[in-house]
Amino acid sequence: MPATPPVLDVRDLHVRYGHFHVVHGVSLTAAAGEAVALLGPNGAGKTTTLRAIHGLVPAAGGTITYAGHRLDGVSPAVRVRLGLGLVPEGRELFPLMAVEEHLELGFVPNRGRRLTEARDEVYALFPRLAERRRQAAGSLSGGEQQMLAIGRALMASPALLMLDEPSLGLAPRVVDQVYETLTALNRNGLTLVVVEQHVHEALALAHRAYIMTAGQIVLQGPAEIVRNAPELQASYLAV
């Protein structure tokens, strides 16, 4: 990627839950238009890192800069308006709320887009959601729920989208569909940061990757190099 200032620049991030120090000095970047994978075993601190970047948990130290804005003390709602989106682990949908209501809930009038325009773009990306627009989220399949979680985040017109375990609980065929969609979004210029247990899919999507173990980054580099690094296998075998 070109040597331009990163759209996301995380430096020496620390996060604590009470007395537990769960993220230890993590630094990572994402350039505009880049896809970045954050890999590692369960409990490595990957989800906490994304939540801290989005402002859902407070940072105990370090800096987070997005699109030139220091995010110290900035609320998650303002971060969304700045263009920083998150698809959370487990989707966090409302089971009794309809598909269309979820999309309306996620709408932010960024870049001058109207609600109907944003919604139509999501339906074009996920035609199955258009077919089920009146259905409750709880009645959807796992794959459809993941489409809805992604679609809801896209309603805010993010410039950078973070996804936490987008393949969680999905059949292999559906995982392929989700990653085909993410690849298309990235090719259209959307910057992505993906936390994922499905290493092969994440590295096929990513330009660069970070490996995280016990709250620390232990390796970073181009995806094709990380794919063959012994540290990748060791990080999963260490737990």
Domain ranges for the chain, please list them. Answer: 1-83+195-239
Sign of the Cα pseudo-torsion (48, 35, 203, 198, in order) = positive
Mapped to the 3 state alphabet, what secondary structure does the chain carry? CCCCCCCEEEEEEEEEECCEEEEEEEEEEECCCCEEEEECCCCCCHHHHHHHHHCCCCCCEEEEEECCEECCCCCHHHHHHHCEEEECCCCCCCCCCEHHHHHHHHCCCHHHCCHHHHHHHHHHHCHHHHHCCCCEHHHCCHHHHHHHHHHHHHCCCCCEEEEECCCCCCCHHHHHHHHHHHHHHHHCCCEEEEECCCHHHHHHHCCEEEEEECCEEEEEEEHHHHHCCHHHHHHHHCC
In eight-state DSSP terms, residue 98 is B
Per residue of the chain (239 residues), give pLDDT as tens.
445 789 999 999 999 999 999 999 999 999 999 999 999 988 999 999 999 999 999 999 999 999 999 999 999 999 999 999 999 998 999 999 999 999 999 999 876 789 999 999 999 999 999 999 999 999 999 999 999 999 999 999 999 999 999 998 899 999 999 999 999 999 999 999 999 988 889 999 999 999 999 999 999 999 999 988 877 766 664 44
Contact 47, 54 (CB under 8 A): no
- pLDDT value for 50: 98
Cα 239 off chain centre by? 24
**Angstrom distance (rounded) from CA 166 to CA 189:** 19
Contact 151, 93 (CB under 8 A): no
Q: For domain 1-83+195-239, give its CATH number from 3.40.50.300, 2.60.40.420, 3.90.1150.10, 3.40.1410.10.
A: 3.40.50.300
- pLDDT value for 236: 60
- pLDDT value for 109: 84
